[in-house]
Structure 1
Amino acid sequence: MKLDNRGLEPPQPMLRTLAALESLPEGETLLIINDRRPMFLYEQLDEMGCSHVTAEQEDGSFLIEIKK
């Protein structure tokens, strides 16, 4: 599943991401694209036991791969 959060003001990207994770089956991966590094989201993901990898893209956005 892929979620494009670019152009949204905080906290919308985090809220959309957490809502998408709720319906994501265990073991699946969610890819999100954000305008900025989601520092507060990382804490939530760690608490939920999700692994995550962030890669800055050439356009300055961030691609975050989240495994539930």
Structure 2
Amino acid sequence: MILDNRGLEPPQPMMRTLAALEKLKSGETLTIINDRRPMFLYEQLDELGYSYETVERDDGSFEITITKE
């Protein structure tokens, strides 16, 4: 599943991402695309036990793949 959060003002991207993560089953992934690096989201993901990988895209946005363990 891909969630495009570009063009949204904080805290909208984080709220949308956390809501989508609640629907994931163990082993599933969610890919989000944000205008900026989601520093506060990383803290939440660490606390909730998700793993993630961030890639900066050519257009300056960030693609984060989040996996529910």
- TM-score bin (small chain): over 0.9
In the alignment of these two chains, the number of paired residues is 68
CA RMSD across the alignment: 0.4
User: 1:17-48 CA distances to partner (integer Å, 9 max, x unpaired)?
Assistant: 00000011111000000000000000000001
Alignment gaps of 5+ in structure 1: none
Give the whole-Å Cα distance in 2 for the aligned partners of 1:26 and 1:3.
18
- Partner SS for 2:13: helix
Q: Stretches of 4+ moved more than 4 A in 1?
A: none
Q: Please give the TM-score of this superposition, normalised by the length of structure 2.
A: 0.97
- Partner SS for 1:7: coil
Q: Please give the TM-score of this superposition, normalised by the length of structure 1.
A: 0.98
- Please report how far the alpha carbon of residue 9 of structure 1 lies from its aligned counterpart in structure 2 after TM superposition: 0.1
Alignment gaps of 5+ in structure 2: none
Give the match for residue 67 of structure 2: 67
Give the match for residue 5 of structure 2: 5
- Please report how far the alpha carbon of residue 60 of structure 1 lies from its aligned counterpart in structure 2 after TM superposition: 0.3
Structure 2 counterparts to residues 45-56 of structure 1, below 5 A: 45-56=45-56
Give the whole-Å Cα distance in 1 for the aligned partners of 2:12 and 2:29.
20
Give the match for residue 40 of structure 2: 40
